[in-house]
């Protein structure tokens, strides 16, 4: 009876070890997949960040250009030089000279 019980315990140990091995394998695979997914997400966010930085650069350049255009326009704008600007309605011809053609 002792030999039979020992053999049965060995079988249980082998099955438990195999089950544990499979579980560990599954766990490692899951971790690897998670790491791969995080890496892909990182790459995607890096690309988006680069693209947004490029867009910031373009918008900053455009803002500088438009500020210069406005500064130049302010020098010659009849509406801005009119002391009664806020009291009277500007003449249509004065307004027309300020609008882009």
pLDDT tens-digit series, residues 33-60: 999 999 999 999 999 999 999 999 999 9
Contact 78, 97 (CB under 8 A): yes
Average pLDDT over residues 59-69: 97
Question: The pTM is what?
Answer: 0.55
Q: How many CB atoms lie within 10 A of CB 1?
A: 5
| Backbone φ and ψ of 91, nearest 5° | -65, 140
Query: Is the pLDDT reported for residue 83 higher than 80?
Result: no
First to last CA, the chain: 107
């Amino acid at each position: 009876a002792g030999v039979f019980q020992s053999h049965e315990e060995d079988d249980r140990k082998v099955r438990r070890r195999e089950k544990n091995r499979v579980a560990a394998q599954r766990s490692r695979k899951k971790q690897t997949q998670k790491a791969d997914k995080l890496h892909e997400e990182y790459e995607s966010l890096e690309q988006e960040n680069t693209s947004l930085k490029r867009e910031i650069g373009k918008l900053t350049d455009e803002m500088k250009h438009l500020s210069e255009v406005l500064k130049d326009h302010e020098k010659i704008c009849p509406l801005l030089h009119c002391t009664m600007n806020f009291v009277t309605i500007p003449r249509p011809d004065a307004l027309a000279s300020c609008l882009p053609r």
